Amino acid sequence: MTYGELAKRVAKLRHRTSMSAQVVGNAVGKNHLSLFIPCHRVIGAHGNLTGYGGGLARKVALLELEGHLACDFSWPS
């Protein structure tokens, strides 16, 4: 799921017309319950790996542990 997709879902739940993907990204970045709400699964709009509080290497490790291949994602430049 991308930040934009997540923003659309949250906006719909809150009966709003839209919500910024950046706002969602900021909220995900402050998530202290990452074991219960797996923010490592959120990716950029073009399938790229974006920031993760535990570092991108840990994000990739978690995704691979769940059966996703690192080659499915692009690294930020």
Any idea which residues carry the catalytic annotation? 39
d(CA 63, CA 5) in angstroms, rounded, equals: 19
Helix (H, G, I), strand (E, B) or coil at 59: helix
Burial of 41 (0-12, 13-18, 19+ CB in 10 A): middle
